[in-house]
Amino acid sequence: MSKVKAAVFASGTGSNFETIMKCDDLACEVVLLICDKPGARVIEKASRCNVQTFVLNPKSFDSKEAYEQEILRMLQAAEIEWIFLAGYMRIVGKTLLEAYEGKIVNIHPSLLPAFPGKDAIGQAYRAGAAVTGVTVHFIDEGVDTGPIIAQEQIDVLPDDTEETLKARIQKVEHVLYPAVINQLLSTTD
Ligand code: GRF
């Protein structure tokens, strides 16, 4: 039986994209990468995995709606059922939220609702938090505010630097995200 098709949206390095792609027993097939940052490192990673990639510069569209309509056309042409955000540095708008209601998932490097938005690891570190973590959640129109699916807590150690903390957080992300994707797909139509 063929697997449901998914797209990953990413803007940066793509370490989460890479671990999703390397997961042997992923319950979906990632067939599309949408990237909003020409030159982002995730693009080479997708090319190595032979994943069809569209790089769109939002600034070359008249509006967010026009930008997302173009993405929607690509998603529909590829028969995408699920969207996994992995370092996509943009708020998803109404066009995609309505078309993929309950089917867009994000990973965020903090224990939401703490430290939403950009540089969540730096925010937690600078705030002197004793614990932080990773959250996988559905998205809504807010910034990292949608319903939480799974979280994993990570202690901030006394001798942590921001870099050592980030490395531990990413290690957890790389296990948690594929596991949550599989769990979601096994329990959702
Ligand atoms: C991850 O920490 C993810 O939680 C956040 O953006 C980062 C993306 O990292 N949303 P990468 O591009 O997957 O390496």
**Residue 12 CB less than 6 A away from ligand 1:** yes
Q: What is the mean pLDDT of residues 102-128?
A: 97
Residues 6+ apart with CB under 8 A from 142: none
Q: How many other C-beta atoms lie within 10 A of the C-beta of residue 97?
A: 18
Question: What is the model's pLDDT at position 129?
Answer: 97
Ligand 1 nearest atom to the CA of residue 14, by list position: 12
Ligand 1 nearest atom to the CA of residue 10, by list position: 12
Any idea what the CATH number is for the domain that residue 23 is in? 3.40.50.170
How far apart are the CA of 1 and the centre of ligand 1, in A? 31
**Residue 11 CB less than 6 A away from ligand 1:** no
Inter-CA distances, 129 with 10, 55, 114, Å: 27, 36, 10
Return the exposure string of 114-133: e unless at least 16 CB atoms fall within 10 Å of the residue's CB, then b: bbeeeebbebbbeeebeebb
Is 93 buried (19+), middle (13-18) or exposed (0-12) by CB count in 10 A? Answer: middle
How far apart are the CA of 87 and the centre of ligand 1, in A? 4
**Residue 173 CB less than 6 A away from ligand 1:** yes
Ligand 1 nearest atom to the CA of residue 88, by list position: 10
User: Is 1 a residue whose pLDDT tops 80?
Assistant: no
Q: pLDDT for 60-107, tens place per residue?
A: 999 999 999 999 999 999 999 999 999 999 999 999 999 999 999 999
Question: What is the model's pLDDT at position 2?
Answer: 86
Would you call 108 a catalytic residue per the annotation? yes
Q: What is the mean pLDDT of residues 23-37?
A: 96
User: What is the span of the domain harbouring residue 121?
Assistant: 4-187
User: Is 139 a residue whose pLDDT tops 80?
Assistant: yes
Pairing of strands 82-85, 104-108: parallel
Q: Number of folded domains in the chain?
A: 1
User: Is 31 a residue whose pLDDT tops 90?
Assistant: yes
Q: What is the mean pLDDT of residues 136-157?
A: 96
Question: What is the model's pLDDT at position 188?
Answer: 79
* Strand-by-strand arrangement of the 52-55 sheet: 52-55, 28-35, 4-10, 82-85, 104-108, 131-138, 148-155
pTM (two decimals) = 0.97
Give me the torsion for CA of 86, 88, 89, 92, rounded to 10°. -120
